[in-house]
Amino acid sequence: MIEKKHITERFIKYATIDTESDPNNPAFPSTDKQWDLARVLVADLNRIGMQEVDLDENCYIMATLPSNITSKVPTIGFVAHIDTSPDFTGKNVKPKIVENYQGNDIILNEEKNILLSPDYFEDLLQYKGQTLITTDGTTLLGADDKAGVTEIVTAMEYLIQHPEIKHGKIRICFTPDEEVGKGAHKFDVDKFGAEWAYTMDGSQVGELEYENFNAASAKVTITGKIVHPGYAKGKMINSMQIANEFIASLPPEEVPEKTTGYEGFFHLHDMHGNVEQTLLEYIIRDHDLDLFEKRKYLMQRIAFDFNKRFGKELVAVAIENQYFNMKEKIVPVMHIVDLVEEVLKEMNITPIIKPIRGGTDGSQLSFKGLPCPNIFAGGHNFHGRFEYVPVESMIKATEVIVRIAEKVSEKFA
């Protein structure tokens, strides 16, 4: 159905364009290089025959596949993001193609002795006999979410080339800055004009997600006092020592490396300081809204207790909400999830319905009035040197998009 060589070449073309976003830049988009891929996509969408192709001033790309049926059916959408994570470099990505993978260790970089091994990444064993696209061990790959971008473009191209497949109006959008939490901030839901949409931003084949974390960031600023260490007794306040106590005051088992499923966590992702001042940067995550609020309260209470003990305001906690669990907005329209589950079963794909242990543009979009569950895009080990994507998984995801478009016309015509 979908030509393997064609989708591989398209993915590699997109993956080799550096689009890393920047969490410390308030500009929108946060990096100019995201425009490079945006312009390539505009050209590709025009070339395959999409209509109303538009790249706006905020680097959002929208386009339309017109309906080819006379009956009025709901307009649906598909969304993916063009940026890659700042957690690991996306510069000079050099994808490697591994044909007919046999379950062995993959040498990503012989010089640096970097291996992609099923001894550590057991999911690799699911893909024996398939074609894998990996990194060269020095960058991320960008399957998050250029696999999703590739699949949407390829699905639209296939539908245009096969007018015998009946479908209603389809809108697509590629967003910037998803990896830094801003992907939906300037998304114009009214302009998009879909009744609902799907983000193609999940991992292994079969994933279908409509729950995600409630999320907040927390900056803990600790102020100390520097005094000559030889005369410091009763005078010096070492902010780094207080920071160490603060970290130890949070539940030690409630961290990412020790939690799974619906379990929330506190994640210390950056810290730097000296005697006079230390900054701790956390993300706070929980699927349950009440537990989420309790987590935020706990951090504030610890700061209060420290300040009371020292008799002065040494610890300040600034918490900012980032996004909320989209389940609240999806449950009233569960037919949009049920439709995908039905499609997956028809295609002999086992649905894997589970909560996202992270965020997605779909969360913010759902709260902006565009219900938006998440569907697999095929990649694994996102945000690092061990990222890979099976080509066959991208083909499956593309076929799912095509079948969803057809299924909507069948159910609602």
Note down pLDDT in tens along the chain; length 413 residues: 799 999 999 999 999 999 999 998 999 999 999 999 999 999 999 999 999 999 999 999 999 999 999 999 999 999 999 999 999 999 999 999 999 999 999 999 999 999 999 999 999 999 999 999 999 999 999 999 999 999 999 999 999 999 999 999 999 999 999 999 899 999 999 999 999 999 999 999 999 999 999 999 999 999 999 998 999 899 999 999 999 999 999 999 999 999 999 999 999 999 999 999 999 999 999 999 999 999 999 999 999 999 999 899 999 999 999 899 999 999 999 999 999 999 999 999 999 999 988 878 899 999 999 999 999 999 999 999 999 999 999 999 999 999 999 999 999 98
Do the domains at 4-212+325-412 and 214-323 have one common CATH topology?
Answer: no
Tell me what pLDDT residue 359 has: 77
pTM of the model: 0.90
- With tokens 């245009």, the residue in question is 160
Tell me what pLDDT residue 57 has: 97
Fold of 4-212+325-412: Aminopeptidase (3.40.630)
User: Distance between CA 326 and CA 195 in Å, rounded?
Assistant: 16
For the structural domain made of 214-323, what CATH number should be given? 3.30.70.360
Tell me what pLDDT residue 1 has: 77
- List all residues 6 or more positions away from 333 whose beta carbon is below 8 Å from its beta carbon: 196, 371
Closest to 174 measured CA to CA, from 156, 195, 158, 161: 156
Q: Are 109 and 115 in contact (CB under 8 A)?
A: no
Classified as helix, coil or strand, 35 is helix
Tell me what pLDDT residue 103 has: 96
User: Distance between CA 97 and CA 135 in Å, rounded?
Assistant: 9
Tell me what pLDDT residue 360 has: 82
Is residue 378 left, alpha or beta, with left meaning phi > 0 and alpha meaning psi from -120 to 50? left
Active site residue 83: yes
From the list 177, 178, 207, 392, the catalytic residue is: 178
Active site residue 346: no
From the list 22, 44, 83, 136, the catalytic residue is: 83
Q: Are 166 and 406 in contact (CB under 8 A)?
A: yes
Instruction: List the chain domain ranges.
Output: 4-212+325-412, 214-323
